[in-house]
């Protein structure tokens, strides 16, 4: 690890280049720059998740940690290139005092040329990510409403500030459920008249799942809160009975369909690294998320 104190963005870029040259690793395999806007509480988990995702998508990870409470205005950096962290690069950048208000001044000189930029806020995020000092430079902007105490308010903010290229990890947490339901409805099915989604109180994924189902089947949806973790079940009231999908454990769900025996399907809970890897696989706007968030009645 390389440590630089009271440094500059240019000096950090030079240190990364020199370390690349020293270990004989070119930057030509890098596919993007990931900017993580964090504080001391969220930076470790967010960076670890990004490092795991980087094994699938070699990237330059810049974790910008705001420290506005510091007495002196300066930039401190910790740099790792290659090695056990994978083929990418990671720089933890602590922006102290006034510098915390201008993260773009540090990040822009460190962006990889001619590659996409993704911005990720693992905790508190701006109301309009695309108009923030960092978001303006990013093709994709990832937030996580699950850290908000009030999911309805969090989703209202996402809805008001949405621009193509925005997404939220609470939506990515619905992907496995959506895949299971889409597979069931590959075959002709009876009409869906009403939807119920059961899940953890104050979990925005539960709300987004209900909204997606309501839009998909053009029907009403109902949210039932419980004391489980995230989404625990989905019920579809259909012309020929009720279809139930119930999470059994951290790996599986049970499907109950009228006229069919119960069926177990894979439904693993996924870590943040897997959610990030999913979002980084596609850098075009997530139109379905945009449609769901725009259609929410909150």
205 plus 73 within the same structural domain? no
223 plus 102 within the same structural domain? no
> Could you tell me the pTM of the whole model?
0.93
141 plus 217 within the same structural domain? no
In the predicted model, is pLDDT for residue 298 greater than 80?
no
With pLDDT > 70 as the criterion, what percentage of the chain qualifies?
A: 97
- 216 touches 245 (CB < 8 A): no
Q: How many domains, the chain?
A: 2
Give CA–CA dist 92/34, Å, rounded.
12
Q: What is the pLDDT of residues 115-152, one digit of tens each?
A: 999 999 999 999 999 999 999 999 999 999 998 878 88
116 plus 227 within the same structural domain? no
74 is a domain residue: yes
Mapped to the 3 state alphabet, what secondary structure does the chain carry? CEEEEEECHHHHHHHHHHHHHHHCCCCCCCCEEEEEEECCCCHHHHHHHHHHHCCCCCEEEEEEEEECCCCCCCEEEEEEECHHHCCCEEEEEEEEHHHHHCHHHHHHHHCCCCCCEEEECCCCCCCCHHHCCCHHHCCEEEECHHHCCCHHHHHHHHHHHCCCCEEEHHHHCCHHHHHHHHHHCCCCCCCEEEEEEEEECCCHHHHHHHHHHHHHHCCEEEEEEECCCCEEEEEEEECCEEEEEEECCCCEEEEECCCCCCEEEECCCCCHHHHHHHHHHCCCCCHHHHHHHHHCCC
Give CA–CA dist 152/157, Å, rounded.
9
Any idea which of 27-41, 66-80, 275-289 has the lowest mean pLDDT?
A: 27-41
Any idea which of 28-42, 158-172, 199-213, 235-249 has the lowest mean pLDDT?
A: 28-42
pLDDT at 111: 95
What average pLDDT does the chain have? 93
Q: Which domain holds residue 200?
A: 175-266
Q: What is the pLDDT of residues 244-260, one digit of tens each?
A: 999 999 999 999 998 89
218 plus 160 within the same structural domain? no
pLDDT at 23: 77
pLDDT at 90: 93
**Local confidence band at 208 (pLDDT 50, 70, 90 cut-offs):** very high
In the predicted model, is pLDDT for residue 35 greater than 80?
yes
The dihedral region occupied by 165, where left means phi > 0, alpha psi between -120 and 50, and beta the remainder, is left
37 plus 106 within the same structural domain? yes
């Amino acid at each position: 690890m390389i440590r630089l104190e009271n440094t500059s963005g240019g000096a950090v870029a030079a240190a990364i280049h020199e370390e690349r040259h020293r270990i004989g690793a070119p930057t030509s395999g890098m596919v993007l720059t990931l900017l993580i806007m964090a504080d001391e509480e969220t930076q470790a988990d967010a960076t670890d998740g990004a490092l795991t995702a980087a094994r699938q998508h070699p990237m330059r990870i810049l974790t910008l940690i705001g420290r506005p409470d510091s007495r002196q205005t300066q930039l401190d950096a910790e740099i790792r290139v290659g090695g056990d962290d994978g083929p990418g690069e990671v720089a933890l950048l602590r922006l102290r005092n006034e510098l915390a208000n201008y993260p773009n001044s540090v990040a822009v000189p460190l962006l990889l040329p001619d590659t996409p930029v993704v911005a990720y806020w693992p905790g508190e995020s701006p109301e309009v990510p695309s108009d923030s000092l960092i978001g303006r430079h990013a093709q994709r902007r990832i937030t996580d409403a699950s850290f908000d105490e009030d999911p309805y308010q969090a989703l209202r903010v996402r809805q008001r500030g949405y621009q193509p290229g925005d997404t939220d990890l609470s939506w990515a947490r619905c992907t496995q459920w959506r895949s299971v339901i889409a597979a069931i409805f590959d075959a002709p099915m009876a009409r869906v008249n009403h939807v119920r989604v059961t899940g953890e109180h104050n979990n925005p994924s539960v709300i987004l799942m209900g909204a997606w189902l309501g839009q998909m089947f053009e029907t009403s949806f109902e949210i039932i809160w419980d004391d489980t973790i995230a989404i625990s079940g989905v019920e579809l009231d259909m012309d020929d009975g009720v279809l139930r999908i119930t999470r059994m454990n951290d790996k599986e769900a049970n499907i109950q369909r009228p006229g069919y025996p119960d069926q177990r399907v894979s439904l693993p809970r996924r870590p943040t690294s897997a959610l990030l890897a999913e979002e980084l696989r596609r850098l075009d706007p997530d139109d379905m998320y945009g449609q769901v968030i725009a259609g929410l009645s909150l």
